[in-house]
Chains A and B, each alone.
Chain A
Amino acid sequence: MGLTTAARWRVLLTGVLALLSMIGFMTWNVQSDWAFIVEYRGSRLLAMLLVAVAMGVSTLVFQTLTHSRILTPSLMGFDVLYVLVHALGLAFWARLGLDSMPSVIFILDVLLMAGIALVLFRLLFGDSVRGLHLLILLGMMGGLLFRELTELALRVLDPTEFSIQSGRSIASFSRINLPLLWVGLVLTVACVALVFALRRRLDVLNLGRDVAINLGVPYRRTVTLLLVVASVLVSVSTALVGPMLFFGLLATNLAYWIVGTHQHRWTLLATVLVAVVCLVGGQLLIEQILQSRLPFVMLLELCGGVLFILLLLRGVRE
């Protein structure tokens, strides 16, 4: 129920495209032996899938929580918060002798970051979300502040080493943080399963806070849970490849257009599929078929930014 025939076809088509991109990514232009290809491309593909799922789902959840189609957790500074927590935590974890265990550090970072994000969100906005533009501006300024503080901290801690550590201001799929792949996989699967289990509750949240409470949703608890999920997903994606500001926006809005409904079982599916097509398919197209060195993530970010301005203009006119 819920989907028109045309929408069903569009979802199916996206699914096929996603599948084709994955197969193409693994098999196009194979010149060396398969064991190496499976290991090298397979780990990259897994990382891209994780990032696509994490970015898409966290943005979808966030947009439902805030009743807006232009917000992403990254726009609110979640990804930069992770980078800051990681940079500041590094010295501290090393003192505890944890620096040889990146997975443990990662989980500690994620916990810390989810806690801070929750406290910030509650402090600023209390129970309900009002003033969308204010929210985004605060998020962007907060993000800028975190980023510049991180830079300052790195510089002051070690002025000579600075140039080595900087330069990761935008995501890149040629430098994937592979040691975190498996723990990232576990976290992502757990989060997505949780979101999928809560899909009906998300549908109700979409109707607004008061309606949701009236219909028996434990509002505060659900929002807290979903915020934690969004923080964890953003952390996974940021830790694996680096920050991406607008990609989630692109994925969810294309997904809304494809399914034409706000039922989460469909939007969730479509968001994941679109995100996979964009990331894996786009990477395949640029890197293998066109043989270009174009940093593909920047291209995605560019499209997302333009889309954001367009959505902003249209939202005002309505």
Chain B
Amino acid sequence: MAGGAGLLVILLALTSLNVGASQMKLLHLLTQPDDRVTRVLFASRLPRTIALILAGAGLAVAGLLMQMLARNRLVEPGTVGTFSAASFGMLLAALINPGMALWLKFALVSACAALGSLLFLAILQRIPLRSALIVPLVGLVLSAVLATGSALVASQFELGQALRAWSSGDFSAILRGRYELLWIAAGMTLLAMLLADRFTVIGMGKDFATNVGINYAALMVLGVLMVALISASVVITAGALPFVGLLVPNLVRALVGDNMRRGIVLVALCGAALMLAADLLGRLLIHPYEVPSANLLAIAGSLVFIVILLRGRRQWA
């Protein structure tokens, strides 16, 4: 299964290298190698493709982590306020100093993202008997409230347009030198794979986790931080990309079941594939213009969310 997903990623990545506004094809490297071809390839197409793979894998794994932390399958960073909080962090960075050093901006945005996730988890704590549906509902409204707050602040400083760009991600502006932050997301993705067992135990609740000898509080904090770092690097590089973290883990669960030690690699691969596919579709739909991947992902994501809700209706109603 993982092999098949890996093959899919490779195929999509090759296609992604071949599609763009300029007429460059990979074959030209062999038939008519010249400066222009290599420049387009290495300055634009390759960085974009790598960024897509890293962001997709990271977001899918972040979604999986968030689902374990919140103990609910219908959440992901985009629907619980993590992305909204990260966008707020971008706004803060732009207000404090538009030319802020990248690492400082990254730290600020990550901190905001972590606080957003913590706020969500703290509200969840206050709901003792939760129905499966109240969790995503609280998350969505919290996300909307944070977004409105940001919009309010942004409107005072003429930053509304910029805020909208951060809240709706796409990869059209990715060049060499402007995506490297995503390697941090890749590191977190690997770390999540190594710790997959422990996070699975976290997903079974505090008592159970403590019983089997896990430091529950420490691992929760680590999980929140990992989600925040992934979200921040993606939001800074491309903007918020909704629903990858919701779609992919649920798809993988339907395929291989609940054992996430086996599933998490597949989650990362499918995340990369989904991101590549969304971006490719966005590039081809109104070529040579582009539709932002966030737009397409939100359409696919809300459709699938509705299907999941309706299928589980008897159980949830």
Residues of A at the B interface (CB closer than 8 Å) are 130-131, 133-134, 136-138, 140-142, 144-145, 148-149, 151-152, 155-156, 159, 167, 170, 245, 293-295, 298-299, 301-302, 305-306, 308-309, 312-313, 316-317
Instruction: Determine whether B141 belongs to the interface, using a CB cutoff of 8 Å to chain A.
Output: yes
Instruction: Determine whether B142 belongs to the interface, using a CB cutoff of 8 Å to chain A.
Output: yes
Q: Please name all residues of chain A whose beta carbon is closer than 8 Å to the beta carbon of B127 when the two chains form the complex.
A: 313, 316
In the bound complex, what is the Cα–Cα distance between A152 and B144 (angstroms)? 21
In the bound complex, what is the Cα–Cα distance between A316 and B305 (angstroms)? 23
Cβ B134 vs Cβ A141 within 8 A = no
Cβ B295 vs Cβ A141 within 8 A = no
Q: Please name all residues of chain B whose beta carbon is closer than 8 Å to the beta carbon of A298 when the two chains form the complex.
A: 148, 151-152, 155
Task: State the Cβ distance, B132 to closest chain A Cβ, in Å.
Answer: 9
> Which of B148, B152, B305 is the most central at the interface, judged by chain A CB atoms within 10 Å of its CB?
B148
| Per-position binary interface string of chain B over residues 296-312, scored 1 when its CB falls under 8 Å from any chain A CB and 0 otherwise | 10110011011001100
Instruction: Determine whether B39 belongs to the interface, using a CB cutoff of 8 Å to chain A.
Output: no
Task: State the Cβ distance, A24 to closest chain B Cβ, in Å.
Answer: 24
List, sorted by A's number, 9 A–B pairs whose CB atoms are closer than 8 Å. A131-B313, A138-B306, A141-B309, A145-B306, A294-B155, A294-B156, A305-B144, A312-B134, A316-B130
Cβ B131 vs Cβ A299 within 8 A = no
Cβ B309 vs Cβ A145 within 8 A = no
Q: Please name all residues of chain B whose beta carbon is closer than 8 Å to the beta carbon of A138 when the two chains form the complex.
A: 306, 309-310
- Given known pairs A134-B316, A149-B299, A159-B289, the reply for A316 and B152 (CB within 8 Å) is no
Interface band, chain B: 35 or more
Instruction: Determine whether B193 belongs to the interface, using a CB cutoff of 8 Å to chain A.
Output: no
Task: State the Cβ distance, B268 to closest chain A Cβ, in Å.
Answer: 26
In the bound complex, what is the Cα–Cα distance between A245 and B310 (angstroms)? 23
Instruction: Determine whether B36 belongs to the interface, using a CB cutoff of 8 Å to chain A.
Output: no
| Per-position binary interface string of chain B over residues 184-209, scored 1 when its CB falls under 8 Å from any chain A CB and 0 otherwise | 00000000000000000000000000
Main secondary structure on B side of the interface with A: helix
Task: State the Cβ distance, A290 to closest chain B Cβ, in Å.
Answer: 13
In the bound complex, what is the Cα–Cα distance between A132 and B12 (angstroms)? 41
Within 8 A of A (CB), among B275-290: 285-286, 289
Cβ A312 vs Cβ B152 within 8 A = no
Task: State the Cβ distance, A45 to closest chain B Cβ, in Å.
Answer: 23
Cβ A133 vs Cβ B133 within 8 A = yes
Residue in A131, A136, A144, A316 whose CB lies within 8 Å of B317:
A131
Instruction: Determine whether B137 belongs to the interface, using a CB cutoff of 8 Å to chain A.
Output: yes
Instruction: Determine whether B291 belongs to the interface, using a CB cutoff of 8 Å to chain A.
Output: yes
- Given known pairs A137-B136, A302-B145, A312-B138, the reply for A145 and B299 (CB within 8 Å) is yes
Question: Given known contacts A152-B291, A312-B137, what 18 new A-B pairs fall within 8 Å (CB)?
Answer: A133-B133, A134-B316, A134-B317, A137-B140, A141-B306, A144-B298, A145-B298, A145-B303, A148-B302, A155-B291, A156-B291, A298-B151, A302-B148, A302-B152, A305-B148, A306-B145, A312-B134, A313-B123
Instruction: Determine whether B129 belongs to the interface, using a CB cutoff of 8 Å to chain A.
Output: yes
Going nearest first, the 6 A-B pairs with the smallest beta carbon separation are A131-B317, A305-B145, A133-B133, A159-B289, A145-B302, A148-B298
Cβ A134 vs Cβ B309 within 8 A = yes
Q: Nearest residue in A to B140 (C-beta to C-beta)?
A: A140
- Given known pairs A309-B145, A313-B126, A316-B129, the reply for A299 and B313 (CB within 8 Å) is no
In the bound complex, what is the Cα–Cα distance between A131 and B164 (angstroms)? 33
- Given known pairs A141-B309, A142-B306, A148-B299, the reply for A301 and B148 (CB within 8 Å) is yes
- Given known pairs A134-B316, A295-B155, A302-B145, the reply for A148 and B130 (CB within 8 Å) is no
